[in-house]
Chains A and B, each alone.
Chain A
Amino acid sequence: MNFEYLGYYNYLVFAILLMIGFYAVISKGNLIKKLVGLSIFQSAVFLMYISMGKVEGGTAPILQKGVVDQVYSNPLPQVLILTAIVVGVATLSLGLAIVVRIKERYGTIEERELLDAD
């Protein structure tokens, strides 16, 4: 079997997930559903970064004593994504808080009904 193209599978899944999230953001009228789409979009980007950091035959970048010639995966994308996940949940909550206030003010979170109400 030829595994040459399997190496791109992660990136293909990244493209598909990114666009599934994007589809939810542009086509759904429900504000919560848009935020759900945005989380999928964000997760897809995380997947791309972590895939880039993988090194063939490598292991998690925690050094092992007495082991020489061990290949380690790239720690830098992991650090960026680790912090981005926590920032992601904080900003997502900010979005949800705004949606909750919109619901209380207008009684709906559907985009079309909001436009009609204004």
Chain B
Amino acid sequence: MIKKLQDLIKQKSIAGLLFAMPALLIIGVIMIFPIGYLFFLSFHKWVGHPVWNGVSNYVSIFQDGNFLKSLFNTFFYTAINLTLGFALSFIFALMMNQAKRGIKFFRAIIFSPVVMPTVVVGSIWMWLLNSSFGVVNALLKRIGLIASNIGWLGSSWMARLSISAVNVWLGTGLTAVILLAGLQGIPKSLYEAAKVDGANAFQQFVHVTIPQMRGIIIIALILKTIGSFKTFGQIYVMTFGGPTYSTSSIVFYLYREAFSFFNFGRAATMSVVLFLIVITLSVVQLYFRSED
């Protein structure tokens, strides 16, 4: 009897390993090995094959003005997403939580950009912001806000702000839906108790909503940060990083470095920077999620 049981367990463990093997193999080859290889490459120069290069890639990328510019742009996009984007998401979530009708329509609209390819979003906005025949210029002229057409993607700051606006449009839906789920999870009794204590709407928001939402707010902020660090497709179609790298992101810059200039070593080093930032943020997020 005991032997039979042992046999069964043994069989079970072999079966288990076999069942998990194909998935483990693919994840191992496509995700895990490349992580190690990435760090390896970051200490090498690529001349068709890797040649040891020490830390010189790490020194050189931080002396590269255009990489630093791309790093700055990425942080700038992140900052706009976390302030303006997050505020809008929160307002939208609160409105959806209060309204009785229009929710489905609204949620479908703000979530649509999330399921669209980023190059599609970029293409649409490139047309909207077209300096000669764009509808944004046309509408602003019609209501008299501007006298002549604006080149939205033509100058450094204008382009940077335009891309930031597109990022906000693109990412608000996802954050709003996450926050809405958080709002719906707050027990109604807490609000009623607060009301009995004489709290007005604003006080209820500060003393019930915010503390109850703490975990989910942090998760949403970190997810938004991670998303901002991956910005690529919209830049590729709208500005191709220009004018003179003023809209280039980390991902766009490392893509160009690797696949236009074939400096795999330096590009790998930039990827390590991206990797470490995102992983750190994810670990922090995981911590809050488990606490939640």
| Mutual binders A and B | no
Chain B residues close to A by CB (< 8 Å):
none
